Amino acid sequence: MTLSWQIAAEKQLEMVLRAVEQLANFPEMGRLGRVDGTRELVIQGTPYIAAYRLKGATVRVLALIHGARRWPKKL
């Protein structure tokens, strides 16, 4: 029997993965980051923000951070 929290977690994971996968085609879709040299993608429908860095055509996701948490000084 699947528990409701498992279903909710799977939905959140799907939303995060779908949003982050879009960065391959639209790497600058996120806002400028709070940490120098980074960008932030707000994951719609979730409380999460993906912090990432662009280097040429490469997108490197550095962290997935809950919006209510204190933002790290370094990534």
Half-sphere exposure of 71 (CA within 13 A, CB side): 13
**Banded model confidence at residue 33, pLDDT cuts 50, 70, 90:** very high
Confidence of residue 1 (pLDDT cuts 50, 70, 90): low
Residue 61: pLDDT above 80? yes
Q: How far apart are CA 72 and CA 69, in angstroms?
A: 9
- Residue 41 CB partners (closer than 8 Å, separation 6+): 19, 20, 23, 29, 30, 31, 49, 50, 52
Residue whose C-alpha is closest to residue 30's, from 17, 20, 41, 45: 41
- What is the value of pTM for the model shown? 0.88
